[in-house]
Amino acid sequence: MCDHDASPTVLTPAATPCPEPQAAPSTGSRRRRLWELAHQCHCPVIGVCLPLDSLRRLVSKALDGRALADDYEVHVGAVAECGHRNRLSELLQHELEQRYARRVQQFRSAKTTPAVVQLWKEAVAQGDVTGAFWAALTHPRCDSVLQEVLCRDMHMLQHQAGASVRVDIVKFNALAEANASLTRELDRVQERSTRFMADKASDMERLSAQLLQARADNLAKDSSLAFLNADMTALKASIPGFESGLRLHKKIDQMTQRQTELEEHISDLRQKLASATKLLETVNEASSHQAEMGAAEPAPTPAAPMTVHLHHKTVLCVGGRSGNVASYRDLIERVGGRFAHHDGGLEDNHNVLDASLAAADLVICQTGCISHNAYWKVKDFCKRTGKRCVFVENPSTSSLARGLEQISVKSHETSLTEHS
């Protein structure tokens, strides 16, 4: 069974069974040793309480060599040697005491045989019987009856363990097959994932290259734009009167627009003049026809010139020459009005014009000396509010007087219409 100094020593079971010592009840506290147990206890103790590799190691150590026998021979030889005290039994005793020291300490608290039985039942219920079996067999209160019970229970537990092992083997084989199938599926999934990750990495590299190219293009465009701005600034600085030319072009555009508006206004006036001329011709023809018919009706007496009186109304004069403002004021105050003036946006703020228009009763707009924005603002305001307004092209005092007369005529006609 073992090999030591080229002289094989075979460890075999005893030819004749040794007389089995009877476990007598003990009243002391000394625990029994392995060689003091009954012979039928040695087989379950060696087979259950010691793993096979630990047993082979202890046998090799006891024989000062390497055990050459198979597992069964090692087990049988160790069981035979446990019948008396020797080197192997002492090594086995020491190993069991160290391995199950916690269980032995737990069983020390049992002072009676029923207490030992109770601890054994708890160990069986928990499924941890290896250390409890050794601690119960060697307990001072373990009598022959309890020893027989322990061996029977361990025998049945070994049968159950064998059946459980067979069931576990079947389950293990099924699980191993399922694991192999899942492993193959996992390998396929990992392969697909690897290809997918490789494709995504390639896409990311391509997109990163495109992003870098786009950033480079933007940087080049920004640089080009900066250079062009610098060149344009330098070109503007090199051209004399560039800013003045820009302002002049804007002024020309404004004047062109103003001219278009004036031309439209002149066209409207010409149409009105043509209509008045046609009406006058019609009246003259009717008068000639009446004269021919010999009508003796007296000629109508021409109406007396209407006297202008503003009755403390506020007259807003928009535009005009700054040197004529005093004359404007004097003329309006002579006919009983209150004078207000706005230069039409040349120097006065446009926001002030809104307040002046709201406070005025009558508005005279001198179109020849007014800004485009102020002209349209006056025209829009008077149209929306229905406030009387006269547009005068000539900024002279006489033109202002004619404008007042037009307002007076319109007021008189409106009054006559309301009375009728």
Mean pLDDT highest for which of 18-32, 209-223, 304-318? 209-223
Residue at token pair 């103790």: 45
Among 128, 158, 173, the domain-final residue is: 173
Specify the pLDDT at position 10: 36
Under 8 Å between Cβ of 348 and 342: yes
Concatenated DSSP letters for 207-248? Answer: HHHHHHHHHHHHHHHHHHHHHHHHHHHHHHHHSTTHHHHHHH
- Whether 286 is covered by a domain: the verdict is no
Specify the pLDDT at position 409: 62
Under 8 Å between Cβ of 121 and 150: no
Q: What is the pTM of this model?
A: 0.36
Per residue in 325-344, pLDDT tens?
Answer: 888 888 888 888 888 888 87
Kindly report which listed range (63-77, 233-247, 291-305) carries the lowest average pLDDT score: 291-305
Reply yes or no on whether the pLDDT at 415 is more than 80: no
Reply yes or no on whether the pLDDT at 174 is more than 60: yes
CB atoms within 10 A of CB 107: 24
- Whether 259 is covered by a domain: the verdict is no
State the Cα–Cα distance between residues 147 and 40, nearest whole angstrom: 10
Give mean pLDDT, residues 202-216: 92
What phi, psi does 199 have (nearest 5°)? Answer: -65, -45
Give mean pLDDT, residues 43-71: 84
DSSP H helices, 239-386, are 242-292, 325-334, 350-359, 372-385
Classify burial at 27, counting beta carbons within 10 Å of its beta carbon; exposed 0-12, middle 13-18, buried 19 or more: exposed
Q: What angle is formed at CA 211 by the lines to CA 208 and CA 217, rounded to 5 degrees?
A: 145
Token pair, residue 1, equals 């069974």
Who has greater pLDDT, 369 or 167? 369
Mean pLDDT of the chain: 79
Among 173, 196, 231, the domain-final residue is: 173
Specify the pLDDT at position 287: 66
Under 8 Å between Cβ of 9 and 63: yes
- Whether 195 is covered by a domain: the verdict is no
Specify the pLDDT at position 210: 93
Q: How confident is the model at residue 196 (pLDDT cuts 50, 70, 90)?
A: very high
Per the structure, the count of domains in the chain is: 2
Specify the pLDDT at position 348: 58
Give mean pLDDT, residues 112-141: 88
Kindly report which listed range (64-68, 187-191, 261-265) carries the lowest average pLDDT score: 64-68
- Whether 247 is covered by a domain: the verdict is no
- Which residues are CB-contacts of 360 (< 8 A; sequence separation ≥ 6)? 314, 315, 316, 340, 387
Who has greater pLDDT, 130 or 414? 130
Under 8 Å between Cβ of 146 and 117: yes
Residue at token pair 């008045």: 276
Reply yes or no on whether the pLDDT at 15 is more than 60: no
Full domain range(s) for residue 375: 314-419
- Whether 102 is covered by a domain: the verdict is yes
Residue at token pair 């160290």: 98
- Whether 371 is covered by a domain: the verdict is yes
- Whether 284 is covered by a domain: the verdict is no
Mean pLDDT highest for which of 16-30, 55-69, 101-115, 321-335? 101-115
Q: How confident is the model at residue 271 (pLDDT cuts 50, 70, 90)?
A: confident
Sign of CA dihedral 89, 94, 100, 102: positive
Specify the pLDDT at position 293: 61
Residues in the chain: 420
State the Cα–Cα distance between residues 408 and 335, nearest whole angstrom: 11
Specify the pLDDT at position 47: 86
Give mean pLDDT, residues 267-291: 77
Instruction: State the SS3 of 59-110.
Output: HHHHCCCEECCCHHHHHHHHHHHCCCCCHHHHHHHHHHHHHCHHHHHHHCCC
CB atoms within 10 A of CB 359: 11
Classify burial at 226, counting beta carbons within 10 Å of its beta carbon; exposed 0-12, middle 13-18, buried 19 or more: exposed
Among 148, 173, 198, the domain-final residue is: 173
Specify the pLDDT at position 199: 92
- Whether 147 is covered by a domain: the verdict is yes
Per residue in 58-78, pLDDT tens?
Answer: 888 888 877 667 888 888 888
Classify burial at 364, counting beta carbons within 10 Å of its beta carbon; exposed 0-12, middle 13-18, buried 19 or more: buried
Reply yes or no on whether the pLDDT at 383 is more than 60: yes
CA distance from start to end of the chain: 151
Under 8 Å between Cβ of 46 and 55: yes
Q: Which CATH number fits the domain that encloses residue 386?
A: 3.40.50
State the Cα–Cα distance between residues 187 and 182, nearest whole angstrom: 8
**Strands 362-366, 338-342: parallel, antiparallel or unpaired by DSSP?**
unpaired
Q: Which amino acid is at 288?
A: S
